[in-house]
Structure 1
Amino acid sequence: MTTTQPTGPSGADEEAILADITAMIALVLEDDGLGDTEVGMETRFSRDLEFESIDLVTLAGHLEVRYGREVNFAEFVASMELDDIIELTVGRLVEHVSRCLKSAGAA
């Protein structure tokens, strides 16, 4: 996983963001022996990846290292209802990261 900041419009490319997040998920799941799990936009963190709250905290740390404070995972999750968190998909996170990076680039 790289720790450089994305630059320009390509930094908000959802395909690249998906690849980054997939790599982060593999790191989080590595200890559980699930590092080879296939991840796509419809993959759900809770049901498909069996993420627990500590896994989400770890993922949030990886997101901050990769994208900086522009992508505030805690704020993103805090805006959701419990059912939305349980059903959170990788795609929804990718879209959130993309929006945050685009907003940061426009500022």
Structure 2
Amino acid sequence: MKATPHPADATPRPVEADQVFADIAELLARLLEDEYGLDDVEIGMATTFNRDLELESIDLVTLSGLLEERYGGRVNFAEFLAGMEFDEIIGLTVGQLVAHVVTSLKAAEAS
């Protein structure tokens, strides 16, 4: 799966959870394909980063960079993770990340 670039300075579109999910699923697919050669992984809102996708901490750093590339400074994944306990990070789902991104983007729009 080849990703389409989304410049951070593009005109913001209304924040929709389904679009954010699609963006994150695309970023994860790109990460999994680039790092592990996996291109057919099913990703849903309940998919966990640790158990289901078997991402390691370095992969979360890479994901943070991809989120920064996509959303600019409007979404701070590292700060989001820093507010969690270890067990919460281990159980983190795609849906939780989608909710965080939606909240962050709406807050940035309101500023």
TM range (shorter): over 0.9
Q: How many percent identity over aligned positions?
A: 53
* Alignment TM-score, normalising by the size of structure 2: 0.89
Give the structure 1 partner of residue 27 of structure 2.
24
5+ residue gaps, structure 2, are: none
The 1:92–1:6 alpha-carbon spacing in structure 2 relative to 1, beyond 3 Å, is farther
How many pairs align? 105
Q: Which amino acid aligns with 2:27?
A: M
Give the structure 1 partner of residue 57 of structure 2.
53
* Alignment TM-score, normalising by the size of structure 1: 0.92
Q: Deviations over 1:48-92 (max 9, x none)?
A: 000001111111001001001110000000000000000000000
Q: Which amino acid aligns with 1:2?
A: P
Task: Report the CA distance between 1:2 and its aligned residue.
Answer: 2.3
Give the structure 1 partner of residue 46 of structure 2.
42
Distance 2:12 2:76 in 1: 18
Task: Report the CA distance between 1:6 and its aligned residue.
Answer: 5.6
Distance 1:86 1:41 in 2: 15
5+ residue gaps, structure 1, are: none
Give the structure 1 partner of residue 95 of structure 2.
91
What is the CA RMSD across the aligned residues, in angstroms?
1.2
| Large movers: runs of 4+ above 3 Å | none
